[in-house]
Amino acid sequence: MADQSEPAPFIASAPLMTVSSRLALVICTHNRSQSLIETLESIYNDGYAGAEIIDVLVVANNCLDDTLVRLTEFRHAHLEARLRLSWVEEPQPGKSYALNTGIANTQHAVLCFIDDDQVVESGFISHLLEGIERYPEDGILCGRIWPAWDGSEPQWVHAREPYAIPIRPFPEFDLGRESRRICEADRYPSGGNISVRRHVLLDIGGFSTDLGPTGHNLAGGEDHDFLRRATAQGHTIRYLPKVRQLHAVDAQRMSTPYTLRKSYLRSRASFMISKRTKGPQAYMLRKIFEHSACAVFTTDSNRRFFYMVRVAASAGELAGSLELWRAMKKSRECQHSNSSRAGALASLLAVFMISACVLAWALSQGALASTLLPSIGVAGLGAMALLGKSLADFSQTGPQLRHEVLRHFRLYSALALMRLTLIAFGILFVQGLLGTLIYSASTYLLQQTPSTAWGAVSAVAAIVVSTGFQFCRHLLLLPASLMASSHYRSSRLYPLWRCLTPRGLKAAEAAFAITAIILILAAGTRLLMQQHWAGVASITAFSATLALIARRLKARSYPKPRKADKPTARPNVLMIGSDTLRADRIGKRLTPFIESLAQQGTLFTHCYVPCARTAPSLVSLLTGTWPHTHGIRDNYVADDQTRLKVPALAHLLRREAYTTAVLSDWCGADMGKFDLGFEYVDLPEDQWNLKLFIRQGPKDLRLFLSMFVHNEFGKALLPEIHFLGGVPLTDELGVEAARLINRLGASAQPFLLNVFFSTTHPPFGSEYPYYLNHSTREYAGESKFAMARLTDPWEILRRQAEPREAFDLEQITALYDGCVNRFDDEVRRLLAHLDATGLRDNTILVLYSDHGMEFFEHESWGQGNSAIGEQSARVPLLIIDPRTPGQGRVEHVVRSIDLMPTLLDVLGLPAPTGMDGVSLSAYLHDADAKIALDAYNETGIWMTDIPGMAVDHLRYPNLLEMLEVPDKQTGTMAIKPEFQRPIVQAKDRMLRRGQWKLVYQPLESGCKLLLFDLVSDPGCISDVSAKHAEIVVTLWKALRQIIDADPDCSPISLTTSGVPPNDGAETEQPTQVA
């Protein structure tokens, strides 16, 4: 820890300096005490004589030398009143961690970052303060850095064009004698002499911990990544020529191995910052070969060294592309990657197909024309018919973007359509081949000659029977999977559906299996008697692979629990969430098991999410911060904005030796899109991606394929349809979670496992019999199985602009309640498995949701559309700590951002500086504890005008006009930068304090404030702002503080509708709201 002798250094929990201290010099150091002291000597000998106090903060990054001792000695020997030296320790190795610690332990208006191997020139501080005053509009200031040459350096360091070394082994930055704003064409300065204003740090966050050196290795890029993110957000960089530093130059930095290694690592980091995810390219290898040849075939030493450095840089680019590509495929995070699983399953299918073809040859006595050709022909015709029907009635998932955007993806679309058609052909061929095999086996046993015509009839019959069976199976057991890809009215299928029963489906399966076994045994016996060894081998291989495939196609059951060896030192954490779960649905009627859990722990019945949209809500939950703090305001986020500004729960637990994992179906893709720190990731890809929508294909083709992909083969080989939006995979996800609990429980490390279900998300299509639990078999409308006309996530958003009359509301709420039943049952199954493993007594359980759901309580449906009602913003939050007696229901106001600090608190871990949430651990011990909290919520992006929206409400264009695909390589859809600020400014916002709720609605001129008393009016029907003006003024001040802290909000006009003057609220300074 920092030295505690006088004068005391400031530390993370201490107040940070006086108001006169607006500048702090931050120096990060690692085991380089002598160089650090030289840097400090230069600062203290700078000649600064101003009246303003300057703080000097040293961050000792995992220092094992005498750094702390020498800092103490230096401070006692330099009691300079104008310069105030302090230090903190950051145990996590890595310069980025140290830089972020420096940011967190200061509150100064400007931070100047200085490396520990650089010295400042005389007048450095005065010139910097002058620049801060003179250029207030520039968020970042930088100065010159010169190498401290002493004449012993090699000749190549002074080489000029064309052989100047592009990546120098030492910082060097000089743009001349005149101050100017750095433009896009200029190169960025290094991080050793940059000064950053506080508002820039609040806007873009700190330095990326994925980049930068650890110890004294040569990795880097954290500074350029930071500057790139800052300029992308509109912040400008000002060059100050008089703010000069000299960088130490030692012999090691001049060596050839050092220079080549640094060139390699910096080029690798630069490529990773660019986030180009196309993967390794041929031009990278070509550059390596070309530069190598130029280095070998020359006699000029400068030219040779120049091309050696270029070879190293090109190799770094190739390494960066490989690393990014692997990260994109999640092969580094998933212990069982999809690619390896796909390879194993593809091998199994290959063995099956080869053995089937050999068996067909044996049974037809060499007449393959009667077996293979009919199967190929029928499959080809079927695939072409599917393709033709799909093109004739073309309907693609996702938004209809501008034609110029879609034109870019024409070739990609054609290839994707060809791929789906080939997969359809493969499925049809396997079905047809099984039919012709049955026919060939029959003729073989009857000693008849097979014919091509009857072979074709057999193939058609097998395709019709097997496809029809799969259709019936899905129609009864998971009809949502058909509705998600259907053009047609579901009511046409009701007569067929009424004939189906689970017992009937099982009987059909048994009949198929018995028939297959009889034919295989009979044919195998005859082949054996005839000593047809090739036939015997093929029928044996065919039978084995068919059994394996059938087993993998069969719905998997929960695995046998594996007993954990012994409890870990710290408890495990199991988080179970369900998308769109309303708080008012938790109770004995719909969730009897979860209700019973409430008696074992603490159920917060009035927990509010800050934004009722999945991405911002989940990021807030897992970082403990408001959306305007972490920067994710809705679901449409560009790739370069997915690196979060704040640490997430999994990041912090990984530092404490936790194994972290996350599982989800289609709703949880955002937990893989953003860097939330999970090591094991089993998630679908980003659902707001144009390439994904294209790969999902048109509806008719997708409808056929969707009947065959709800299994391991589909997940590995066709994940875009396996994880199709609107189709919950509750049973599969529960089984995967149980398997992972077995694996994690066998380790000596504690674990954090987050399982997020889409069970309760629109269109509310649950499995049999749950969709009938609150409905009737006699219902004949179009929403019998799922909410009608919601066949992909885009339609779910689009229909949120439709009025109440467009929906069969009673049936829809019945479907929703059935989904809630289904989630309750899956939680029961999963916790029964946890009990059986012996882990329950050492596992903290959290049940949560990302948002609720509005069913026209306030003129609209969906989530995140209204800040008035409780139904969208309020979610259940249940925490069970087996070490603490349960407190039952707690009705005090809490926030989802309070979960992360609560978990860190009960685990005995410190919370990082800058979290907006607070610990709720007091409630876990006493339900009557008093923690006065204000809940805050803001609306999401509206697709179009929402029913009931005021005429003069702030608006923005239709969502389709605001969307773009900034990176055509990834296909990620995002909001155009010019619309991001107007969208945030047009959000409705809500503040809940005790029994009162204040709602803010921005208008074209001023704003409208509404006040509701939730004790007498829990439905928020009657605005009582006129009766309680003093309450409005008090809550408005608190809400203003949150809004004013939002960097994307302009100052709010104080012209309000129906509210008395703001009683000085316009002068209120923004502060942290607890």
Reported as a single tens digit per residue, the pLDDT across 836-861 is 999 999 999 999 999 999 988 877 77
- Check whether 80 has a pLDDT greater than 70: yes
User: What would the mean pLDDT of 402-419 be, rounded to a whole number?
Assistant: 81
Alpha carbon distance 670, 688 (integer Å): 9
Residue 336's pLDDT band (cuts 50, 70, 90): very low
Q: How many CB atoms lie within 10 A of CB 841?
A: 11
Answer yes or no: are the C-beta atoms of 1001 and 1052 closer than 8 Å: no
pLDDT digits (tens, 9 = 90+) for 314-328: 887 788 777 766 655
Q: Return the pLDDT at 17.
A: 40
Q: Return the pLDDT at 646.
A: 86
Averaging pLDDT over each range in 273-287, 793-807, 980-994, which range is the top one? 980-994
Q: Return the pLDDT at 15.
A: 33
Residue 410's pLDDT band (cuts 50, 70, 90): confident
User: What would the mean pLDDT of 1049-1065 be, rounded to a whole number?
Assistant: 48
Alpha carbon distance 808, 429 (integer Å): 42
Q: Return the pLDDT at 269.
A: 65
- Check whether 644 has a pLDDT greater than 90: no
- Check whether 469 has a pLDDT greater than 80: yes
Q: Are strands 23-29 and 54-61 parallel, antiparallel or unpaired?
A: parallel
**Residue scoring higher pLDDT (201 or 817):** 817
- What values do phi and psi take at 753, rounded to 5? -120, 125
Tokens (6 digits) for 208: 């990326």
Tokens (6 digits) for 805: 């009359």
Does a cis peptide bond (omega within 30 degrees of 0) precede residue 399? no
Q: Return the pLDDT at 342.
A: 63
Q: Return the pLDDT at 140.
A: 95
Q: How many CB atoms lie within 10 A of CB 1060?
A: 12
- Check whether 933 has a pLDDT greater than 70: yes
Q: Return the pLDDT at 337.
A: 47
Cα→Cα distances 260→287, 292, 548, 765, Å: 16, 13, 52, 58
Nearest to 39 by CA among 3, 71, 7, 80: 71
- Check whether 1058 has a pLDDT greater than 50: no
Q: Return the pLDDT at 399.
A: 58
- Check whether 1066 has a pLDDT greater than 50: no
Alpha carbon distance 873, 726 (integer Å): 21
Q: Return the pLDDT at 1067.
A: 32
Q: What is the mean pLDDT of the chain?
A: 85
Residue 18's pLDDT band (cuts 50, 70, 90): very low
Cα→Cα distances 929→246, 916, 946, Å: 57, 20, 40
- 703 CB-near residues (< 8 Å, 6+ apart): 482, 485, 486
Q: Return the pLDDT at 798.
A: 55
In the sheet that holds 1056-1057, the strands lie side by side as 935-938, 989-993, 996-1002, 1007-1013, 1056-1057
Q: What is the residue whose two structure tokens read 């400007």?
A: 110
For 817-934, list the strands marked E by DSSP: 843-848, 854-855, 861-862, 874-880, 888-895
Coil/strand/helix, residue 1071: coil
**Residue scoring higher pLDDT (1070 or 954):** 954
Q: Is 507 exposed, middle or buried (0-12, 13-18, 19+ CB in 10 A)?
A: exposed
Ranges of H-type helices in 178-300: 198-204, 222-232, 256-274, 282-296
Alpha carbon distance 633, 924 (integer Å): 31
User: What would the mean pLDDT of 526-551 be, rounded to a whole number?
Assistant: 89
Q: Return the pLDDT at 5.
A: 33
Give me the helix-helix angle, 502-529 and 410-446, nearest 10°: 60
Alpha carbon distance 9, 538 (integer Å): 79
User: What would the mean pLDDT of 220-242 be, rounded to a whole number?
Assistant: 84
- Check whether 534 has a pLDDT greater than 50: yes
- Check whether 1064 has a pLDDT greater than 50: no
Judged by average pLDDT, the poorest of 462-466, 751-755, 864-868, 1062-1066 is 1062-1066
Alpha carbon distance 871, 581 (integer Å): 9
Residue 927's pLDDT band (cuts 50, 70, 90): very high
Q: Are strands 83-90 and 110-115 parallel, antiparallel or unpaired?
A: unpaired
Ranges of H-type helices in 781-913: 793-798, 809-837, 899-906
Alpha carbon distance 861, 648 (integer Å): 31
Judged by average pLDDT, the poorest of 204-208, 275-279, 695-699, 959-963 is 275-279
**Residue scoring higher pLDDT (319 or 53):** 53
User: What would the mean pLDDT of 779-808 be, rounded to a whole number?
Assistant: 69
Q: Return the pLDDT at 791.
A: 52
- 19 CB-near residues (< 8 Å, 6+ apart): none
- Check whether 1054 has a pLDDT greater than 50: no
Q: Are strands 23-29 and 602-608 parallel, antiparallel or unpaired?
A: unpaired
Residue 130 CA to its chain's centroid (Å):
43
Judged by average pLDDT, the poorest of 95-109, 128-142, 361-375 is 361-375
Cα→Cα distances 699→303, 492, 791, Å: 60, 17, 10
Alpha carbon distance 2, 71 (integer Å): 10
- What values do phi and psi take at 1011, rounded to 5? -125, 135
Q: For residue 349, give the H/E element and its range.
A: helix 338-363
